[in-house]
Amino acid sequence: MDGGKSYCKNRVAWYGANFLVKEKEIERIGNSFDDDACSFCDDFKKSGLVKSSKILLDELTALGIRGKKLLDLGCGVGSFSFKALERGVSSTTGFDLSPVMIGTASRLSEERGMKERASFRRDDAAKAALPESEIVVLDKSMCCYPNIDELLSNSSNASREYYSFILPRSDTKISSLIAKFIVSIGNLISRITSESRTYIHNLGKIDNVLTSSNFERVFRGTSGMWLILIYRRIP
């Protein structure tokens, strides 16, 4: 019996320590993007969306977004949300781990006269109670999470119609090798600077989770090192 108690205590200690490590990593992710808010904001005001994000928005527009609700996870300064509102979505809700990003997004919504239709919240999209929306977007945010199981489950459950995301290309042997090399160099620098790391996730696993949750892939595109995917919930 004593051995059993010891085993249980060790298991509890392990899970507790593992939980704290994950929580610290999530907090570090948010803090590491605080300093980027100003540059993200300036870039958006100057040039709008980057090419990969434009492709995603164009494809979603073609599929039909007018009058629908958008959930923007890892929203940053709200760039995708604002452009989607211009395309006709009824409202957007953005989540991000960085309080400075959220503060900047909120100020931009006022500047652009979109405060009534765009709301932004600092929270962890893997754990937060997400509002059900026709469209869910994760624009280059999956690759920030060390383990996306919770994020994938929680965010896909919030999608009524479309689930879309952009992440580093790893869909071929060559692109996988290139992505891993670039990411390994970036992560080496991140260890030195205490910035957040970038993660390459298994695309097959992501596809299996989504298809088993009654989604089907309706679009696949690329832009440089980025892979753009859209899934639709099967009625």
Indicate if the pLDDT at residue 172 is higher than 70: no
Q: What digits encode the pLDDT tens for the residues 92-147?
A: 999 999 999 999 999 999 999 999 999 999 999 999 999 999 999 999 999 888 77
Residue 190 Rama label (left phi>0; alpha psi -120 to 50; beta): alpha
DSSP strand E in 80-128: where?
A: 91-96, 118-122
Domains of the chain: residue spans and CATH: 2-233 (3.40.50.150)
Amino acid of residue 147: N
Q: What digits encode the pLDDT tens for the residues 45-104?
A: 999 999 999 999 999 999 999 999 999 999 999 999 999 999 999 999 999 999 999 999
